[in-house]
Structure 1
Amino acid sequence: MSREAAKGRRSRRPEWATVEWWRRPAGPVYLASLVLSLGKGAWFTCWALFFLHSVGLSTAEFAFGITAAGVVGMIVGGPLGYLADRVGARETLVVLGTVQGLAILSYTWAHEFWAAVAVTCVMIAADRATPGIRIALLSGLTTGEERIKSISTNRAMTQGGIVVGALAGAYVLSLDNAAGYLGLIVMYGGTTVGCSVLLLRVPRVASLSDRKVRRRVMVLRDRPFLLITLFNGFLALSWGMLDSGVPLWITHHTHAPLWVMGVLMGANAVVIVLFQNRVSRAAEAVPGAARLGLWSGVLLAASCGIFAATYRGSGAWVFVLLALGAAVHVVGELFFVSSGFGLSVNLTPNDAHGEYQGMFATGQATALTFAPGIMTVLLVDWGVAGWFALAAVYLVGGIGTLGAARWAMRKPQEPAAETPIVPASAGEGQRGTV
């Protein structure tokens, strides 16, 4: 083989298969996300049975605990995002990861109800705040088209890790004993702390403190962005729809075996890993991201209609409809996630990625918190009518995303209200107010 041919074969290798790709500034972020998602996939596959069988909580106590933790996660996203802008996204991620890891390790002794609730609130709060701040860090490390590509790559890494981790979690579930749960806790908590240390290899992104600048919170005055956050939260119910809604529907309103849900979720994850990067290319500019948001709502609504058609279904036909509904759903999910990346990043001032991503993540955290209850009421209690109500929510989310994005494009960008911090030696009386 000639030298040129050998060089051509090497060039066809995927980027992630090269050492140079992992050595880039964002490389440690990808690696940390991959490792953390392995533990996350394993943990959230079996944490319910851990609390019910190992800790000894009742189902009502477990439901109260995860709901309280979800509410805390909703509240802290914005403030922690602003803190990331103030002190640095990398530093905030390191601290959050360490706190989350220690909280996970605390499950080894927190076996009383209120202790378990407190630990879960800390763990979930850090878990919900971390993705937005990680996007802020990647946004600071990259520019232009590379920015959306790096964020979507991180999403694909995370999804792939969750799938593999879920398989490990299934093994722990098969054991269903204290030793298995203890090993998982130690593994997940230890790797979470270790990945936080790994992030110290990431180049530091200049913070407001580094630049000697103080400014007020900006995102709360950005009404188009707040509307986009709201409508993106409507679309984010698609995550809860697949995780809890479809399994509940299959159990209560079809004659299909529940194991088919594992096949649908596995296929969903594979499609996301393979195509998230490609779809995100259409969201590199605000108009394209806005259109993806609209089509996401349309496709998710269409998937609701297909799932509704499985009512009391059985045999091969119900399998076909479930597979078709899941296929339309995953395309809608790809569009929704890519739209969120493009809009939240491109509509954010360069020095405010932390607070904007923190606020944007609040909409998704709200959806994740209330999705199980919403899906139970709509799909178990309302039946077929619930699917059409959910479809209407998705259509509102898609149309609203397009309208709010167009408003944001027409609205002139408001400059940040920045005030230089005067060194103390120059006189405390001259320091600007926040």
Structure 2
Amino acid sequence: MTPAWAERVPGLRPSPVRPVYLATLVANIGSGAWYTCLAIFAVRSVGLSPSQFGIGVTVAGIVGLLAGSPLGYLADRTGAREMLIGISLAQSAAALGYLLAGGFWSFLLVACCAVAGERAAPGIRIAVISGLTRDKERLSAISTTVVVAHIGAALGSALGALVLWADNRAGYLALVLLSSASFFGFALIVRGVPHVETLREKQIKRSVLVLRDKPFLIVTALSAVLALNWGMMGSGVPLWITQHTSAPAWTMGLLTTLNAVAIVSFQNRASRGGTSVAGAARLAVWCATALAVSCLLFAATFHGSGAWVIVLLLAAACAQVVGELLYVASAWGLSVGLAPPDAHGEYQGAFGTGPAAALMFAPALMTGLVVDGGVAGWFVLAGLFLLGGLPTVPVSRWALRSRPDPAPSGGPIPDLKEEQTS
């Protein structure tokens, strides 16, 4: 019997998707540790030049971008759980493949396999959750998975930092083995998740739907613009602090810690407003507003120094993390709410290309806008966020009108149409 206090904690409640939380934690510990050290391993152990590493990662990112939707469609036909297990086993093998890479082409092959799995797995994981949950429980499960992923990545990054401190080949090899073992462990744990009924079992024959769903594709593109907030904190803000302010370097560590604590503490709460498409669309507007305010506050730190600039940076980071919380809630609410009940794998795979593209292009965009453009670049970025968020409400209404039928499985769509007209 589950204790009463555990019933109030989403990740501890009895649920068919509870093993997914543990599996996500395990996988993200391994991947978080590995990606902390990947660049140094590629240069020192594989023998790549920094430019070769950059080209290899970019090409792998493009391959991963293209793989998400086809693998998602295949998951709908053959089984989302089974596809997720297969992808995690492939990722485990790809991690070991880094040990065999002896030059650029072998590294590129391994990286393409690893990144394709990395890009496809989150969407298929959401398809598994969507197939086993309904309504508010669905979004709560998704947001809990996001929180668990952050915790795992943080723990893994700490392990990676220790290996970087030791800086020896034995440590890097140990991380490769840890990464491989974590994906293998993910596959073993997910075997305990119930099977999600497939299109074949439902005797449904259809072609690809998402490529004909114009409003959903536009929602995906708008969400991709908002996903640039991840790149803003990952590359734009650190470079801004070091090149355009006199704030100490440790300030970025403070902002990163603030972000991680806020995501873990408030993501489930923030996701409550995204349980309908109408609500998720409104969250996108508020997300864009918060991110635009964050950009203006970061711009105000230009050539700043002393305690005042640290206060402004903290205020900007608070606005950014509010935007990030709302972005995650909005993105999953829209992608799940607008997906036909028998096409979650296909739709989540397609939707995942938006954040993947944003993460791939963000470093170059942030360098051009924020580092080279200075204050004006922050204003342009604020405008981009508003352009990504404000149209979401009318486009989501268009998407709802274009749905052929409400979800027969008790999903969110009937309530969404009611809310839209109220």
Q: TM-score range by the shorter chain?
A: over 0.9
Residues in 2 aligned to 1:402 and 1:292: alpha-carbon distance in whole angstroms: 9
C-alpha contact 2:10 2:144 (8 A) present in aligned 1: no
One-letter amino acid of the counterpart of residue 410, structure 1: R
Q: Is 1:121 the counterpart of 2:112 in the alignment?
A: yes
Range that drifts further, 136-145 or 253-262: 253-262
One-letter amino acid of the counterpart of residue 113, structure 1: F
Superposition deviation, residue 412 in structure 1: 4.2
Q: Is 1:389 the counterpart of 2:380 in the alignment?
A: yes
Of residues 243, 246, 252, the one that matches 1:255 is: 246
Superposition deviation, residue 53 in structure 1: 2.5
**Residues 1-20 of structure 1: matches in 2 within 5 Å?**
11-13=4-6, 15-16=8-9
Q: Is 1:94 the counterpart of 2:94 in the alignment?
A: no
C-alpha contact 1:69 1:125 (8 A) present in aligned 2: yes
Of residues 167, 190, 194, the one that matches 2:185 is: 194
Residues in 2 aligned to 1:68 and 1:80: alpha-carbon distance in whole angstroms: 18
**Residues 66-77 of structure 1: matches in 2 within 5 Å?**
66-77=57-68
C-alpha contact 1:163 1:266 (8 A) present in aligned 2: no
Q: How many pairs were matched up?
A: 407
Residues in 1 aligned to 2:24 and 2:406: alpha-carbon distance in whole angstroms: 33
Under a length normalisation based on structure 2, what TM-score does the superposition of the two structures give? 0.93
Q: Specify the alignment match of 2:336 in structure 1.
A: 345
Superposition deviation, residue 16 in structure 1: 4.6
Q: Is 1:40 the counterpart of 2:20 in the alignment?
A: no
Superposition deviation, residue 401 in structure 1: 1.7
Q: Deviations over 1:89-115 (max 9, x none)?
A: 001101100001100111112121111
Superposition deviation, residue 24 in structure 1: 2.7
**Residues 360-375 of structure 1: matches in 2 within 5 Å?**
360-375=351-366
**Residues 197-208 of structure 1: matches in 2 within 5 Å?**
197-208=188-199
One-letter amino acid of the counterpart of residue 30, structure 1: Y
Q: Deviations over 1:367-393 (max 9, x none)?
A: 011111111111111111111111111
Q: Is 1:170 the counterpart of 2:156 in the alignment?
A: no
Q: Deviations over 1:306-330 (max 9, x none)?
A: 1111111111111111111000000
Q: Specify the alignment match of 1:303 in structure 2.
A: 294
Unaligned 5+ runs, structure 1 = 1-6, 417-434
Q: Specify the alignment match of 2:265 in structure 1.
A: 274
Residues in 1 aligned to 2:139 and 2:406: alpha-carbon distance in whole angstroms: 23
Of residues 134, 141, 162, the one that matches 2:132 is: 141
Superposition deviation, residue 37 in structure 1: 1.0
CA separation of 1:61 and 1:157: change in aligned 2, threshold 3 A: same
Under a length normalisation based on structure 1, what TM-score does the superposition of the two structures give? 0.90
Q: Specify the alignment match of 2:370 in structure 1.
A: 379
Residues in 1 aligned to 2:73 and 2:406: alpha-carbon distance in whole angstroms: 17
One-letter amino acid of the counterpart of residue 392, structure 2: T
Superposition deviation, residue 269 in structure 1: 1.0
Superposition deviation, residue 194 in structure 1: 2.1
Residues in 1 aligned to 2:287 and 2:9: alpha-carbon distance in whole angstroms: 28
Largest Rg, 1 or 2: 1
Q: Specify the alignment match of 1:264 in structure 2.
A: 255
Superposition deviation, residue 161 in structure 1: 1.1
Task: Give the secondary structure class of the aligned counterpart of 2:367.
Answer: helix
C-alpha contact 1:234 1:367 (8 A) present in aligned 2: yes
One-letter amino acid of the counterpart of residue 11, structure 1: A
Task: Give the secondary structure class of the aligned counterpart of 1:350.
Answer: coil
Residues in 2 aligned to 1:400 and 1:169: alpha-carbon distance in whole angstroms: 40
Q: Specify the alignment match of 1:245 in structure 2.
A: 236
Of residues 126, 130, 137, the one that matches 2:121 is: 130
C-alpha contact 1:98 1:193 (8 A) present in aligned 2: yes
One-letter amino acid of the counterpart of residue 368, structure 2: V
Of residues 349, 364, 383, the one that matches 1:358 is: 349
Of residues 144, 152, 171, the one that matches 2:143 is: 152
Q: Specify the alignment match of 1:221 in structure 2.
A: 212
Q: Specify the alignment match of 1:403 in structure 2.
A: 394
One-letter amino acid of the counterpart of residue 306, structure 1: L
Q: Is 1:107 the counterpart of 2:118 in the alignment?
A: no
Task: Give the secondary structure class of the aligned counterpart of 1:213.
Answer: coil
Residues in 2 aligned to 1:372 and 1:328: alpha-carbon distance in whole angstroms: 21
Residues in 1 aligned to 2:15 and 2:400: alpha-carbon distance in whole angstroms: 33
Task: Give the secondary structure class of the aligned counterpart of 2:205.
Answer: strand
CA separation of 1:415 and 1:13: change in aligned 2, threshold 3 A: closer
Superposition deviation, residue 197 in structure 1: 2.1
Q: CA RMSD in A?
A: 1.8
